[in-house]
Amino acid sequence: AKHVGVLALQGDFREHKLMLERLGARVREVRLPAHLEGLGGLVVPGGESTTIGKLAAEYGLDAAVRAAYEAGTLAVWGTCAGAIWMAREILDYRQPHLGIMDIAVRRNAFGRQVDSFEADLEIEGLDAPFRAVFIRAPEIVRVGEGVRVRARYQDRVVFAEQDRLWATAFHPELTGDDRLHREFLERFVAS
């Protein structure tokens, strides 16, 4: 079986790791390019996208993740800060990022008064609503042609999929609902 990785530079990667392990996956913490060897998927956690971006660039991880994705062997799922890291364009900020996904994001897009909130989302492909936790979440403000929108919150895109790339503005690892982790494993990692 292939492994799944969690980018373990900063942020709440432990919660993702636990959820993936509970689903029976073999999970590897990724801190260096060599740790990508043999991975079918990589989950990039929430946290601080500026910090994640700087550390990833320093360790040569953006080039390595891009190469593995382009080779067709790696799926990448960015959650919250991880989604920001994956976006081609980040509005109003200049920060090192991976930029492989054809989306534009706005950081902290849901306003100061409501830094964090929860909402039940209709997600394309799931047959019942998904309880989503938003923490200083970004909004996906533009999606390119090959990008499928899988969920919106009040008309704003919060889950996009493009080829083997997923971007979710919310934190799917903080509730007991493991349906998205399960789908990611089944589609991109299992074999």
3, 80, 139, 161: which one is catalytic? 80
Least distance from ligand GLN to the Cβ atom of residue 31, Å: 18
Least distance from ligand GLN to the Cβ atom of residue 50, Å: 6
Annotated binding site: 47-49, 107, 135-136
Tell me the C-alpha distance between 168 and 114, whole Å. 18
Q: Tell me if residue 145 is catalytic.
A: no
From the list 182, 143, 187, 147, the residue with the least C-alpha distance to 163 is 147
Q: In this complex, which beta carbon is closest to ligand GLN, that of residue 3 or of residue 173?
A: 173
Q: In this complex, which beta carbon is closest to ligand GLN, that of residue 49 or of residue 162?
A: 49
Annotated binding site for L-glutamine: 47-49, 107, 135-136
Phi, psi of 82 (to 5 degrees): -65, -35
Q: Tell me if residue 181 is catalytic.
A: no
Least distance from ligand GLN to the Cβ atom of residue 120, Å: 19
Q: In this complex, which beta carbon is closest to ligand GLN, that of residue 48 or of residue 178?
A: 48
Q: Which residues of 155-182 are buried (b: 16+ CB within 10 A; e: fewer)?
A: eebbbbbbebbbbbbbbbbbeebbebbb
**Binding residues vs ligand GLN (CB under 6 A):** 46-49, 80-81, 84, 107-108, 135-136
Q: In this complex, which beta carbon is closest to ligand GLN, that of residue 11 or of residue 41?
A: 11
16, 97, 171, 181: which one is catalytic? 171
From the list 138, 137, 187, the residue with the least C-alpha distance to 165 is 187
Q: How far are the Cα atoms of 109, 116, 148, 190 from residue 113, in angstroms, in the given order?
A: 11, 9, 30, 41
Q: Tell me if residue 80 is catalytic.
A: yes
Tell me the C-alpha distance between 148 and 164, whole Å. 11
- What are the catalytic residues? 80, 171, 173
